[in-house]
Each structure stands twice: as C-alpha cells, then as structure tokens.
Amino acid sequence: MSLRLILMRHAKSSWADSSRPDHDRPLNTRGQRSAEALGRWLKSAGYHPEQALCSTATRTRETLSGLGLDTEAAFLPALYHAREDTMLKLLQQHGTHATVLMLGHNPGVAFFAQTILAEPPMDDSFRLFPTGATAVIDFECNTWAEVRFGCGRLQDFTVPRALLG
C-alpha cells in the first residue's frame, strides 16, 4: 500500500488589523482567490484527500474551506506554528486515510517538506514554501506510523502564482 500526503501552507493572510492576535488573522482577498485556485488544481489533477489535518488558526481554516473539498477534517491545535518533528508526530498519530492533506504554517511546513523527502528539489519556491505552496508526496508505507523523515517522493508541487498567472 502507498500513502499520499498533500502538504500545504495556508494562503495569504491579512495584516490589516494589527490589534488582531496572530492566530485569528483571516485570509486577504488574494489568499481567498489562491485557496480557490488550489482547490481547482487539486481536483483537476485528481488529488482527492480523504482527510485533512489542519491548524486551528483562522487562516488555515479559511484556506481549507476555500479549497472546496468534501473531506473529513481534524483541527489540531498542535499544528499551529508546529516544528517539523511535531508535524511528523501528528501525521503518524492522526493520519487515518490513504490520502491526507496537512495544512499548516511556516517555518515548520517548509522544514517538514525538505526533511520528509528522500530527494528535495533544488527549487527556491519549494525551499521557501511561500503562502499557498502545495506539495504532493508519496510514501511506500502501509501506515502513517511507518512514515519517517527522508522516505517521501515528491510527485507534484505548485504555488498559487503559477495557477493564477
């Protein structure tokens, strides 16, 4: 059996209200358009997550909603600004389906993307993992508990800028 992780950083958020706590920042207009474009891309490419593991932050929740996917979602407080080791543990503990979308924040998502792959691409966009960046990663494992750093294979990668022009 193989497993597929769709790793995504939240879309562009708003800084318009500086009194708002970071956790509560919503998407801006560009972020809303990006989330919708990412959802269209996932659907057209045949990437259908059966489960989403999502940070509890407003911007990650709004990104997930904007994707327009019909998927089971678990909102995990520990994913909010999680480091790569925490992200791996959460995936191992909470992944229950063959295709899982994990939606979080940088710098953890960028570091996780680099360390989970056997051969990370030499691409600045991938290394920086800008807002909305999405990687599709496959694992030759039977359960998420078996997934380790350095064992994933990158199948696809995109950023909203490439989708919106």
* Residue 140 in this model has a pLDDT that exceeds 70: yes
| Cβ density class 61-90: b for 16+ within 10 Å, e for less | bbbbebbebeeebebbebbbbbebebbbeb
* Residue 1 in this model has a pLDDT that exceeds 90: no
> What distance, in Å, lies between the first and last C-alpha atoms of the chain?
37
How high is the pLDDT of residue 26? 97
User: Domains in the chain, please, with CATH?
Assistant: 3-15+31-164 (3.40.50.1240)
pLDDT per residue as tens digits for the range 98-134 = 999 999 999 999 999 999 999 999 999 999 999 999 9
State the pairing for strand pair 134-139/3-9: antiparallel
Task: Taking residues 87-93, report their average pLDDT.
Answer: 98
How high is the pLDDT of residue 88? 98
Task: Return the closest-CA partner of residue 72 out of 90, 87, 94.
Answer: 94
How high is the pLDDT of residue 165? 78
| Cβ density class 29-50: b for 16+ within 10 Å, e for less | ebbbbbbbbbbebbeeeebebe
Q: Average per-residue pLDDT in the chain?
A: 97
Strand partners for 102:
7, 53
What is the DSSP code (8-state) at residue 154?
E
pTM to 2 decimals?
A: 0.97
